[in-house]
């Protein structure tokens, strides 16, 4: 394990500005690769719900649009932002579209996958709505597959908030 943590990364917001994840020090994060045209897209509702319920206690959802799975996020940032706002009333932070696998993988995702590999130690992200739970110190604590609903994560998040 490296001494680096999620807080050492900077990422581009959906509005184009660079954001240092160090601003989330002391908060529990759920980092999710999202898509607008996926069978799991309705999870936006659950993610927003968790965000609204637990944000006052120091919880953030960070959404990273990705078009690498079945081309299910074809739009640009403006279209993605509009979709999330109009269809799911998303108010949690959204970021610029990224790659989570392959040669152009965003550095944050390289880090997440190394810190918390998937089944049988594979690092590759298998589909949209893969989720990483990050503790207050910026350490990645859990990885959840796309089929794991946001609602089912509440106990893990509450536990992380209590640490």
Tell me: the pLDDT tens digits for 15-60? 999 999 999 999 999 999 999 999 999 999 999 999 999 999 999 9
Buried b (16+ CB within 10 A) or exposed e, 31-44: bbbbbbebebbebb
pLDDT exceeds 70 at position 135: yes
- Assigned CATH for 6-162: 3.40.30.10
Look up residue 48 and give its two tokens. 């927003």
Q: Which of 112, 43, 100 is nearest to 69 (CA)?
A: 100
Catalytic positions are 38
pLDDT at 121: 85
Packed helices 43-54 and 77-88: angle between N→C axes, nearest 10 degrees = 70
Look up residue 145 and give its two tokens. 């597959």
Packed helices 154-162 and 43-54: angle between N→C axes, nearest 10 degrees = 30
pLDDT exceeds 60 at position 2: no
pLDDT band at 3 (very low <50, low <70, confident <90, very high): low
pLDDT at 1: 39
If you average pLDDT over every residue of the chain, what do you get?
95
pLDDT exceeds 90 at position 62: yes
When pLDDT is averaged across residues 77-101 and rounded to a whole number, the result is 96
Q: Which of 11, 2, 37 is nearest to 99 (CA)?
A: 11
Per-domain residue ranges of the chain:
6-162
């Amino acid at each position: 394990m490296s001494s680096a943590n999620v807080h050492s990364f900077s990422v581009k917001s959906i509005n184009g500005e660079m954001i240092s994840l160090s601003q989330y020090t002391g908060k529990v994060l759920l980092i999710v690769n999202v898509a607008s045209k996926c069978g799991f897209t309705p999870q936006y509702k659950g993610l927003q719900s968790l965000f609204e319920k637990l944000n006052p206690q120091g919880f953030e959802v960070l959404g990273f649009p990705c078009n690498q799975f079945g081309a299910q996020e074809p739009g640009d940032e403006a279209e993605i932002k509009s979709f999330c706002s109009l269809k799911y009333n998303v108010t949690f932070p959204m970021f610029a579209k990224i790659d989570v696998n392959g040669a152009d993988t965003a550095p944050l995702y390289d880090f997440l996958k190394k810190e918390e590999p998937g089944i049988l130690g594979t690092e590759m992200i298998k589909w949209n709505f893969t989720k990483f739970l990050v503790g207050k110190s910026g350490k990645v604590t859990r990885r959840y597959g796309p089929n794991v609903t946001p609602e089912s994560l509440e106990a893990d998040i509450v536990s992380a908030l209590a640490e």
